[in-house]
Structure 1
Amino acid sequence: MRHWRRWLPGLLLVLPSLVLVGIFVYGLIASNIHTSMTDQHTRVEEGGFVGLQNYRDLFGDEDFRYSLRNLVLYTVTFLVGTLAIGFMWAWLLERRLKGEGFFRAVYLFPMAVSFVASGVVWRWLLNSAEGDRASGLNRLFEGIGLGFLQNPWWTDPDWGILAIAVPAIWQLSGYVMALFLAGFRGIPDELREAARIDGASEWQLYRHVIFPQLSPVALSAVIIVGHMSLKVFDLIMSISGQTNYTTKVPAIDMWVEFSAGDYATSAAIATVLLAIVAVLVVPYLVYTFRQERQR
């Protein structure tokens, strides 16, 4: 009885949140999974239970496998680009350069712009016209004598999805920079001084002192940027639209199927995306929980 008296006030305090999360998060996830196991492929069907048939059809579809391939290419490019550029900017600012506040604001500014707004601008910058009709970046390359760099960008049949990663990297690199800069500033100066006194070179200082301290920051950046890349939708819709085959990803397929009234297939795609995100996020949550318990 005393045990319940101790926990009851706290339980009553969080109960409304637990109910809302249970209904509108886990309840809707369960409803989506149930729909993905029905044959509701039109708006008028009742939706009989078919088990995993929709998933078998999905992974047997060459177009959906192409979407997964595009998603992997986009995610890898997005992650590598944002981490590399974000770390480089943070490293430069960490060295207390003049005008740090100005450059920090410039690097962070793209974060304040929505993917839809930036997508409209980058659609013009990544225009596929070449030669005399070129515009955007292709026009710039032509004007400065680097015409050989002109390319079809997101209309390329093999690597068009990589062009979509360019504006995404531009927009999120500042966020990753802020994470790494906070990590740099959180390393005590005493550790650096002690390493230098022991005769460590600059490379050894970074390798054995600074980089290990930044590993939690890097992991957080990978999780945050990674799960954002897996759900990419608005940027692609703004640049290439839903009908461009070369830039299609599962989120675009889900929207197309849902708009056509194929609720079962769209729900199956949503469940696949949820599983992919969970594979990335759940281990991170487990790792974070264990780290907190050890403290």
Structure 2
Amino acid sequence: MISSLNRDRVIAFLMLLPSIVLVAIFVYGFIGWTGWTSLTNSNALQQLSGQPAQFVGLQNYTELFAGMLNNRFRIDIVNTVFFTILFIALCLSLGMGLAMLLDQQVKGESIFRTIFLFPMALSFVVTGVVWKWLFNPSSGLNVLPTFIGLQPFRFEWFISEQRWLEFNWQDLPQILAIILLGVVVLAALIAWSRKRSQLAALLAAGAILLIALISFEVPRQLNALSRPETHGFNLALFAVVVAAGWQMSGYTMAMYLAGLRGIPEELREAARVDGATELGVYRHVVLPMLAPITLSAMIILGHISLKIFDLVYTLGGGDNLWIDMPGINMFFTTFRAQEFARGAAIAMIMLIMVAVVIVPYLATQLRSEVER
């Protein structure tokens, strides 16, 4: 029995070995090589001169976040944050709304479901071409009012330089500390309400530490730039958010619709018998049961938004700084400017951003599967 079990394990390992080797080389090996390249001064000039690349440590990362000539990367990071928040919010709200409508057993549900899911079947390149025409300031959506005798819209979709929520890049550490403080305090209150006193005390201690750091203005000592650098949400990003949300809202609709159809009707009927209105049924029964689906959708959409490239490139990214993203910047820096080390640094920062979103979710899923 033991020898047979060991033999099965050896056979299984040998069957998996080619895949393990390929993944180790072509995924993790290249990630490691990219990480090493980001710590050097590798560029086209250095390679043409025949000189070996020199180790420069975190210099490329420092220049990206605090260098006077790299404000484009900082604009990209701010754009990514705002785009991710609005993109996820739009997809979740539209997907939930469409799923709730289809859940009412409307006539022709299969037709509507196909229509709503169709954009997801398109590539981001096709979506970008279509919406680039629709957002053309001299045609597309702006001329719709002229069909009923009104003046055309004058919204400059891609070239708008108007910004909201402006802030100074030098104040970013303090802003992040305040946001983190709010999250920690909220988590402490939730833990306290669930009678997890030890966790609440630990979170409260972390909140006190953050308050001390903010009070002593430690983040203000991190001013690496010699002059203020203003950033904010540029209205041109609305076009990218709308185009991406149009394509991916059908995906969230499918997830929510599957979740709605999986909720037993007995639970809804029990809530109605207890006097709950239809809104109360959704608020107290349906939405809490859809929380895992919402979390999964947020993780997937966040992963898409952080590494988005083709849609933004088709819409005019690269030539339009106001809708630029780190993926576009990495492409131009690496393959056009041939600054290989700096492009590798941008790629590693993107990897870290995606890992921050994906790894905790995967760890939680793995832990729940092990506990089962």
TM-score, reference length from structure 2: 0.74
RMSD: 1.7
What corresponds to 2:302 in structure 1?
226
**1:84-143 CA deviation, whole Å, 9 max, x = no partner?**
001100000011111111110000010111111121111111012xxxxx3100011343
Residues 123, 239 of structure 1: 8 Å contact kept: yes
Q: Does 1:53 align with 2:59?
A: yes
Structure 2 residue runs of 5 or longer lacking an equivalent are: 162-233
**How far apart are 1:44 and its partner, in Å?**
4.3
* Pick aligned residue for 2:132 from 91, 102, 123: 123
* Pick aligned residue for 1:270 from 332, 347, 351: 347
Residues 124, 136 of structure 1: 8 Å contact kept: yes
- Within 2, Cα distance between the matches of 1:155 and 1:272? 27
**How far apart are 1:209 and its partner, in Å?**
1.6
**1:141-161 CA deviation, whole Å, 9 max, x = no partner?**
343466474300011123212
* Residues 147 and 47 of structure 1: CA distance in aligned 2, closer, same or farther (over 3 Å): farther
* Pick aligned residue for 2:286 from 207, 210, 224: 210
What corresponds to 2:109 in structure 1?
100
What corresponds to 1:8 in structure 2?
10
- Within 2, Cα distance between the matches of 1:43 and 1:280? 36
**1:37-56 CA deviation, whole Å, 9 max, x = no partner?**
11012264332111111000
What corresponds to 1:81 in structure 2?
90
**How far apart are 1:195 and its partner, in Å?**
2.3
SS in 2 for 1:274: helix
More helix, by proportion:
1
- Within 2, Cα distance between the matches of 1:138 and 1:284? 41
What corresponds to 1:171 in structure 2?
247
Residues 141, 150 of structure 1: 8 Å contact kept: no
What corresponds to 1:64 in structure 2?
73
What corresponds to 2:171 in structure 1?
none
Residues 143, 152 of structure 2: 8 Å contact kept: no
What corresponds to 2:142 in structure 1?
138
Amino acid at match of 2:359: V
**How far apart are 1:5 and its partner, in Å?**
4.1
What corresponds to 2:358 in structure 1?
281
Q: Does 1:290 align with 2:294?
A: no
* Pick aligned residue for 2:26 from 12, 19, 24: 24
* Residues 145 and 36 of structure 1: CA distance in aligned 2, closer, same or farther (over 3 Å): farther
Structure 1 residue runs of 5 or longer lacking an equivalent are: 129-133
Residues 142, 150 of structure 1: 8 Å contact kept: no
**How far apart are 1:7 and its partner, in Å?**
2.8
- Within 2, Cα distance between the matches of 1:59 and 1:248? 16
Moved more, 67-76 or 141-150: 141-150
